[in-house]
């Protein structure tokens, strides 16, 4: 996809996200730390989205590489691009999307209230979120893991060196839970400094209020670029957890869930078949059945989803395959310099795999 600004398209919703007073849905279960389960809402989200003319996509908006609102008003990052993938699949127009920036406390409530159609917000897929919050998760778009960042001058080279130290962490997250569990398992005594806002946690870390900060490795890499002296900070090698980051939708609408799933899978399958934004037109005359099915030349893949049969073509033309999306936002050559690792295709030793388009 050409490196050009993609404007955010704004629409007025009847129920804008409220931040002044906490929603009843934002109340948490004291045992699980999660909002109470909600009754799934039945209905055709796809029909509502088509009638509105835009996709409303929930993102973070302040995580470079994933979703970050740039000075020119463009939302950039892998999460933002997957919002565009879904918009391209539905409308044939990757720009038909409004990005709704959501805080940690707002993200699930906004989805449960129908204020966003889908979340692509660096959110970890877990059993408790899947089973009791009225949500369904789509394919993992980034396999991550929790890590710890420290300052170089502290001579901390392993987790054990943090004994007796303070660690900044955002509260009400899997990150906080993992920190407590993993350091207890390792018999390392630390003092967590818990912050409601991730920006406040990084500010405290940079100010020296804590000896380390913990988050997903990808986020640490992204946020390190924003520190005053990025080269003075080291991310330790140890991985504290698995963090599969995936889109989320409301339960009760299998068609919409399928749309999200197969839009994401189209980017993965395209990369596996060698189809990109620069060569997709040359594949339109291919005789290979797998290519013809993906591109909608053979069969009716879109009709079964409520989408145009060439939905994958629009995705590839306008946003690219998974590899292009990754390279544009996170790969070596970007400020984040993240090798593909486990986010490579299964044919290259990674975990990415699309079911057959048949």
Is the model's pLDDT at 29 over the cut of 70?
no
- Give the pLDDT score at 281: 98
The answer to whether 352 touches 141, Cβ cutoff 8 Å, is no
Asked if residue 193 and residue 135 are part of one domain, the reply reads no
Boundary (domain end) residue, out of 221, 241, 261? 241
Residue 69: give its domain's CATH number.
3.40.190.10
Q: What pLDDT, on a 0 to 100 scale, did the predictor assign at position 231?
A: 92
Does the pLDDT value for residue 217 go beyond 70? yes
Question: Which stretches within 207-352 are classed as H helix?
Answer: 217-224, 254-273, 289-294, 311-318, 322-329
pLDDT band at 22 (very low <50, low <70, confident <90, very high): very low
Pairwise CA distance, residues 123 & 6, whole Å: 23
| Per-residue pLDDT at 117 exceeds 90 | yes
Quote the percentage of the chain above a pLDDT of 90.
82
Using the 8-state DSSP alphabet, how is residue 191 labeled? E
Asked if residue 169 is part of any domain, the answer here is: yes
Cα–Cα–Cα angle for 40, 41, 42, rounded to 5 degrees:
115
Looking at residue 249, its pLDDT comes to: 98
Residue 19 has pLDDT above 90, yes or no: no
Rounded to the nearest 10°, the torsion over CA 285, 90, 62, 8 is 100
Statement to judge: residues 181 and 269 lie in one domain: no
Q: Please give the pLDDT value at position 131.
A: 92
- Same domain, yes or no, for 22 and 105? yes
Q: Cα torsion at 192, 219, 56, 327 (round to 10°)?
A: -170
Total structural domains in the chain? 2
Task: Express each pLDDT in 249-302 by its tens digit.
Answer: 999 999 999 999 999 999 999 999 999 999 999 999 999 999 999 999 999 899
Q: Looking at 175, 210, 241, which one is the last position of a domain?
A: 241
In the three-class reduction of DSSP (H, G, I as helix; E, B as strand; rest coil), residue 352 is classed as strand
Both tokens assigned to 30: 């004291």
State percent of the chain over pLDDT 70: 88
- pLDDT on residue 104: 86
Question: Shortest CA distance to 250 belongs to which of 102, 122, 58?
Answer: 58
- Is residue 41 pLDDT above 90, yes or no? no
The whole-number pLDDT of residue 43 equals 55
Rounded to an integer, the average pLDDT of 313-325 is 99
Nearest to 101 by CA among 182, 202, 17, 222: 17
Which residues lie closer than 8 Å to 320 by C-beta, 6 or more apart? 1, 81, 267, 276, 277, 328
Which of 178, 213, 241 is where one domain is finished?
Answer: 241
299-303 long-range contacts, Cβ below 8 Å, gap at least 24? Answer: 299/358, 301/262, 301/357
**Shared-domain flag, residues 6 and 96:** yes
Whether residue 32 is contained in a domain is answered as yes
Q: What is the mean pLDDT of the chain?
A: 89
> Per the domain annotation, does 192 fall within a domain?
yes
Tell me the pLDDT tens digit for each residue of 143-191: 999 999 999 999 999 999 999 999 999 998 889 999 999 999 999 999 9
State which residues form the domain around 155. 146-241
Instruction: Look up the pTM and report it.
Output: 0.84
Region 29-33: mean pLDDT is: 42
Task: Give the pLDDT score at 174.
Answer: 87
Distance CA 183, CA 148 (A): 12
Q: Tokens for 252, please give them.
A: 């009760």
Structure tokens at 121: 């917000």
Q: Is residue 357 part of a domain?
A: no
């Amino acid at each position: 996809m050409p490196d050009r600004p993609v404007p955010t398209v704004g629409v007025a919703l009847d129920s804008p996200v409220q931040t002044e007073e906490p929603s009843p849905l934002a109340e948490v279960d004291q045992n699980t730390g999660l909002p109470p389960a909600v009754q799934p809402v039945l209905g055709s989200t796809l029909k509502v989205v088509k009638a509105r003319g835009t996709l409303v996509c929930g993102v973070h908006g302040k995580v470079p590489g994933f979703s970050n609102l740039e000075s020119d008003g463009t939302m950039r990052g892998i999460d933002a691009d997957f919002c565009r993938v879904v918009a391209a699949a539905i409308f044939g127009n990757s720009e038909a999307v409004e990005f709704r920036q959501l805080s940690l406390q707002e993200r699930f409530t906004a989805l449960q209230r129908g204020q966003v159609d889908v979340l692509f917000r660096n959110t970890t897929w877990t059993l408790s979120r899947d089973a009791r919050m009225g949500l369904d998760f789509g394919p993992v778009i980034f396999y991550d893991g929790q890590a710890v960042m420290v300052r170089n001058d502290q001579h901390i080279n392993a987790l054990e060196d943090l004994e007796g130290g303070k660690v900044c962490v955002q509260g009400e997250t899997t990150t906080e839970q993992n920190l407590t569990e993993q350091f207890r398992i390792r018999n390392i005594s630390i003092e967590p400094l818990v912050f409601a806002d991730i920006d406040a946690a990084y500010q405290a870390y940079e100010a020296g209020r804590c000896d380390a900060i913990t988050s997903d490795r990808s986020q640490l890499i992204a946020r390190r670029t924003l520190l005053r002296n990025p080269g003075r900070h080291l991310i330790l090698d140890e991985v504290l957890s698995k963090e599969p980051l995936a889109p989320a939708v409301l339960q009760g609408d299998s068609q919409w869930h399928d749309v999200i799933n197969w839009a994401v899978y189209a980017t993965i399958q395209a990369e596996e078949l060698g189809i990109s934004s620069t060569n997709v037109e040359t594949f339109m005359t291919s005789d290979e059945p797998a290519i013809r099915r993906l591109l909608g030349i053979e069969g009716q893949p879109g009709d079964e989803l409520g989408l145009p049969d060439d939905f994958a073509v629009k995705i590839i033309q306008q946003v690219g395959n998974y590899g292009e999306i990754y390279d544009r936002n996170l790969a070596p050559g970007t400020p984040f310099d993240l090798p593909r690792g486990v986010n490579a295709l299964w044919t290259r030793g990674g975990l990415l795999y699309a079911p057959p388009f048949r």
